[in-house]
Structure 1
Amino acid sequence: MTSSVPEAPRPVLPREVEVAVVGGGPVGMLLATELALRDVRVVVVERAAEPCEEPKAGTLHARTVQSLVRRGVLAGGPLDAAPDAEVTTPFHFAGMSGLTITAPAVEGAPIAGLPQARVERYFEDRATRLGARVFRRHEVRGLTRHPDRVDLEVADLTTGISRPLSARWAVGTDGARGTVRTAAGIAAGDHPATFSSIVALARLLEPRHAPIGWNRTPRGWTMTNVNPAGPSRIITFDWTLPAPDRHSPVTADELRRTLDRIVGRPVPFTDLRIARRTGDFARLADTYRLGRVLLAGDAAHHHSAMGGQGLNLGLQDAFNLGWKLASVIRDGADVALLDTYTDERRPAARRVIDNTRVQSQLMRPDATADPLRALTRELLALPEARRHIGDMISAQDVAYPPSTAAGVSRDAPDAGTFATDRPLTTPGGGPTRLSDLLADGNAVLISETAGDTATLSARIHPWADRVTIAHAKPAHAHPPRARLVRPDGYIAWSAPHDELAAHRLEGTLTALFGPRDAGTPSASHTLAATGR
């Protein structure tokens, strides 16, 4: 007699949830992690059975690296580094060498190479450990907005059964071709493509003779990461228009013809494993929030992959939105806090779209772009220009505008900027660092005046479960200040100690983390979700 172990019952989609994240790529999984970190009930709906293994993004830029350090995902740099010490890594701009990415040494390396699938897997595991529920092989096929909720129709692609899901909030992280944005009625502006690309994995038969790295010819560009022992990543950039239909499959013959034509000689390969189409089509949503529906990642913005900025842009969306949505749901913060999400993140996306469009023009293979390329090379030789472009590509130039709703002081010169990691001391006298205190998703209030920590602790007592207090030595030669660092690492409030006013700090804390008497999660459910 034989016996078999019965299969575990399939998890059943709940009927109600606080947040439904539609799309389980890296952005959706990080957002679910940020929400679950604050005990928000979140469900992720993802149609794929497994993370996509196609060669996609693999570069994490400085601001994303720094944000991941602040959640304990990556290790920071040495705390004893000199205040002005920096680490520099070479990069490229429009396929041209000469660009560098520079970051404070205390933050560690300014670039980390991690495949997108690995990032997705990591945050899926972390989100589920924190209590989020992930439903793979599920697809949203209908969405209806209401003043107090979002109703979703979710199909189980394995059984074919559809079930309703009612969410207090829904976030579309389902990519440029997803359904949430259009179903919610959020408009967007487009820029048509000027080139088409094929991204492929194949084994090169003559790897020593293949064009390595970025390679321009009069007929286009190639970018090849040569792997002599296995599959190489091959990307073609073709300005021949009209471009093929992006939905049509890429055959080995088409890749071979395109690659050989651009390079000008045969580049033999075999074992084509993956091949997909892309290009420089760009789109930007008019708003990131309409009622109780929000967008993040490629669902909100889409552009070419120049500079590897897309994944980073989306992950920064998740860091910005996660704590704000949790504050509204869990702490009773005013719903106006969510409007700052569009105000802060949409300009960052506009800047990425603009610089990737510039790179597309610089990469035009014909001679008309030669003077522009020559001028750009001259600019990249200038330290100030190189730093300016490097900070733009790595998002280290992102600073959020003062906003009453976001609690940012208008008269604080560092408000809205990213707080550099630094050594701190806990009220008990123990050594720590800013990134360690931000790891649990709370804000951090830093005092630079000895003996003032107790006074500040009393003022923030009603928010003690959401704000951690610490002491630091004054930065550089500036007068001592107190700074409130948001959970995403940006400074929300800053003031010299001789101007410290309790009502100003308390107003900021209320705007960011709800009123003093915030207690029951259900209180946030009565908020009106007005559109913009």
Structure 2
Amino acid sequence: MDLDINTDVVIAGAGPVGLLLACELALAGAHALVVERRTEIDPTAKAGSVNAATARLLDRRGLLPQLAAAQEQALARIRSFAAARPGGTVPARLPRYAAHFGGVMLDPALIDERDPLLAGLGPAAEVLVVPQQAVEAILAARAAELGVEIRRGAEVVGFDREQGAVTVHLADGSRVRAGWLVGADGGRSTVRRLAGFAFPGTDPEITGHQAMVEMEGAEKLRPGWNATDTGVYVSGPMAGRILTVQFDGPPADRGAPVTAPELTDAVRRVTGEPVTVTAVHSATRFTDNARLADTYRLGRVLLAGDAAHVHSPFGGQGLNLGLGDAVNLGWKLAAVVRAAAGEELLDSYTAERRPIAAQVLDWTRAQIALMRPRPHERALRGVVAELLGTPDGATRIARDFSGAAQRVLPEGGGGHPLVGTVPPELEFADGTRLSEHCHGGGGLLLRLAPDAPHAPGRADRVRTVTATCPDRPDLAALLLRPDGFTAWAAGSSDAAGLAEALATWFGAPGA
């Protein structure tokens, strides 16, 4: 079979990152074909939560109710697990910034929610416990609503670079001709390998297992994070979930099926308890292999998510990092596809997202160091635990793990302190919130003063909303990029810098 199909963008990978990217392209008027080698959503236990930055970006697309519903389902399972334990309870209201650093748990009571980066996150900050499979299901439903074409059971096996296009070869022999190819196909990305992206980093030293299982002797395991003389383990927060970390090197064959005897051996070695795994519902191995692509774009081939960066799962940053890539890339790539912007706009994708990924990789490496079961690292763990047991330490971790500290432009580079950040969740006099005006994608010029400036000639790319915000008399106008970051802001009716910001991010008038 040799079917030539033309599309704007081919996305390899229908995980959360590929699906969100396809949705963002569709909102901006570009067509994407998503190809995925799996026929169904991967059932393997992965990330168990989202951070505030992810919840807010999905809120800006109208998906907060679905996230909240998924959280309630997850909490029901967690409450059931807690109820089976002596004295086990789950608070009616979860802390907004429940987190750990290398297994050292943060005390939510120490976190200063008045911190400028944590204040004003809106109702999205109440959503935390949403498993990755739920996020993927929500985005798959959204993609279907937007008419995104997803071809499952289709694997990319090669591609040809051409002048102004890429021809993608699939395993079934068919070909797809597209303007652009995006690899969102995971840490062992075929697209990254075939395109020749450099992927430097540090080699693994651990073998980790995460699984949903049935066990005999599970009552002997302490819930939560536990450091032992032989490693680290986590039991819960729902029935059957177990995670182990061993520091005796990476697995000999990471791709082999994970068996009940292997999991039994891992649990017994790390916990010292005579636990037996009797059935495996889903399981995966992981390591602390930490690598980062030196660029996210080579010509007409781009990377997003784990294809661009891999690291250990501690801190739960992988899913959030990848979704941030997708929402950053989607509107930029669509603008280039529609000829509303030149290809130089795509240079900002690597420039903005790669430093954030580099910080995440270093934070995951630091957590591995804290987990090592050796005297020096155990001493270091005690020191770090003391630091995180202070308001400043706990608040610092909360700011970074929540994604609230992320910037896409240097501080002070845009004249107003909001430039380069995602602004607070403003509430308007008509009862609406800022995120509710962002559901359709595109840029947004928010006019909060009667004489605030306009954005002439860009009605197809920048929507203007005039509103009143009683809580922010210091803010007259705000220009948001489609990804929610502030491109320009002013405390008065002065339009200085607005024309430059519009040209940089939204092209020339009438383009």
Could you tell me the TM-score, scaled by structure 2's length?
0.88
In the alignment, the residues of structure 1 paired with residue 448 and residue 464 of structure 2 have an alpha-carbon distance, to the nearest angstrom, of 15
Residue in structure 2 matched with residue 510 of structure 1 by the alignment: 503
Q: Secondary structure at the match of 1:435?
A: helix
Among residues 186, 190, 194, which one is paired with 2:201 in the alignment?
190
What secondary structure sits across from 1:445 in the alignment? strand
Give the Cα separation in 2 of the matches to 1:110 and 1:354: 27
- Unaligned 5+ residue runs, structure 2? 69-93
Please tell me whether the aligned partners of residues 197 and 235 of structure 1 are also in contact (alpha carbons under 8 angstroms): yes
Measured after TM superposition, the shift of residue 464 of structure 1 is 5.0
Matched, 1:20 2:19: no
Partners in 1 of 2:510 and 2:269 — Cα distance?
68
2:83 alignment counterpart: none
Match of 2:154 in 1: 138
Please name the residue that 2:355 is paired with. 347
User: Post-superposition shift, 1:151?
Assistant: 1.4
The structural deviation recorded for 1:276 is 2.1
User: What amino acid sits opposite 1:28 in the alignment?
Assistant: G
CA gap of 1:254–1:465, structure 2 versus 1, over 3 A, is closer
Cα displacement (A) at 1:14: 5.6
Among 408, 423, 437, which residue is 2:427 paired with?
423
1:150 alignment counterpart: 166
2:484 pairs with 474, 485, 489, which one? 489
Mapped contact 1:58–1:113 kept (Cα < 8 A): yes
**Structure 2 counterpart of 1:367:** 375
**Which residue of the partner structure matches residue 79 of structure 2?**
none
Residue of structure 2 in register with 1:264 after alignment: 272
Compute the displacement of 1:105 (Å). Answer: 5.6
Corresponding position of 1:72: 62
- Map of 1:55-454 to 2, 5 A cutoff? 55-75=45-65, 88-100=96-108, 103-104=118-119, 107-108=122-123, 109-156=125-172, 162-225=173-236, 227=238, 232-241=240-249, 243-330=251-338, 332-402=340-410, 410-424=414-428, 430-449=430-449, 451-453=450-452
Q: Which whole-Å deviations, capped at 9, do the CAs of 1:20-78 have from their partners, x for residues lacking one?
A: 1111101000110111112211100100000001111121011101111111101599x
The Cα of 1:476 is off from its aligned counterpart by: 4.7
- Quote the Cα distance in structure 2 between the aligned partners of 1:303 and 1:39: 33
The residue that corresponds to 1:530 in the other structure is none
**What is the match of residue 53 of structure 1?**
43
Larger RCO, structures 1/2 (Cα 8 Å, 6+ apart): 2
What is the SS of the residue equivalent to 1:255?
helix
Q: 1:409 Cα deviation (Å)?
A: 5.9
The one-letter code of the counterpart of 1:118 is A
Q: 1:325 and 1:410 mapped to 2: Cα distance?
A: 23
User: For 2:138 and 2:96, how far apart are their aligned partners in 1?
Assistant: 27
Give the secondary structure class of the aligned counterpart of 1:497.
coil
Q: Separation in 1 of the partners of 2:6 and 2:390?
A: 56
* Identity across the alignment (%): 39
Q: Which has the higher strand share?
A: 1
Alignment-mate amino acid for residue 438 of structure 1? C
Cα gap change, 1:477/1:15 in structure 2, threshold over 3 Å: closer, same or farther? closer
Confirm or deny that 1:462 pairs with 2:458: yes
Post-superposition Cα deviations, 1:159-194, rounded to whole Å, max 9, x if no partner, equal: xxx111111111110001121112112111121112
| Aligned partner letter, 1:122 | I
**Unaligned ranges ≥5, structure 1:** 1-9, 78-85, 157-161, 519-532
Matched to 1:193, the amino acid is: P
The 8 Å contact of residues 463 and 509 in structure 1, kept in 2 or not, is answered as: no
Hey, what's the Cα distance between the residues in 1 that align with 2:250 and 2:40? Answer: 34
**Aligned AA for 1:29?**
L
What is the letter of the counterpart of residue 156 of structure 2? Answer: V
Number of corresponding residues: 477
**Aligned residues of 1:53 and 1:117 also touching (Cα < 8 A):** yes
Give the distance between the partners of 1:226 and 1:508, measured in 2 at CA: 46
- Cα distance between partner residues in 2 of 1:511 and 1:226: 46
Point out the more displaced range, 320-329 or 504-513. Answer: 504-513
Q: Secondary structure at the match of 2:171?
A: strand
Q: Note if contact 1:94-1:362 (Cα within 8 Å) is conserved in structure 2.
A: yes
The CA distance in 2 between the partners of 1:170 and 1:151, in whole Å, is 9
Displacement of 1:279? 1.1
Deviation string 1:197-225 (CA, Å, 9 cap, x unpaired) is 11222112233222322111101111111
Offset at residue 255 of structure 1 (A): 1.6
Structure 2 CA distance for partners of 1:255 and 1:464, relative to 1, 3 Å: closer
The answer on whether the counterparts of 1:333 and 1:510 sit within 8 Å (CA) in structure 2 is no
Contact kept in structure 1, 2:211 and 2:280, CA below 8 Å: yes
Asked if structure 1 preserves the Cα contact closer than 8 Å seen for 2:167 and 2:175, the reply is yes
Q: CA deviation at 1:307?
A: 0.9
Cα distance, 1:99 vs. partner? 4.9
Check conservation: 2:204, 2:249, Cα contact below 8 A. no
DSSP 3-state at the match of 2:285: strand
How far the C-alpha of 1:265 sits from its partner, in A, is 2.2
Alignment counterpart, residue 37 of structure 1, candidates 19, 27, 33? 27
Whether the aligned pair in 1 keeps the contact of 2:457 and 2:510 (CA below 8 Å) is no
Larger radius of gyration: 1
The C-alpha deviation readout for 1:218-277, integer Å capped at 9, x for no partner, is 01111111655xxx1111100013643212332222221221121112112311222321
The C-alpha deviation readout for 1:295-343, integer Å capped at 9, x for no partner, is 1000000000001110000011111111111122225212111111101
Closer, same or farther in 2 for the Cα pair 1:465/1:265, shift >3 Å?
A: closer
Q: SS in structure 2 opposite 1:197?
A: strand
Q: CA deviation at 1:195?
A: 1.0
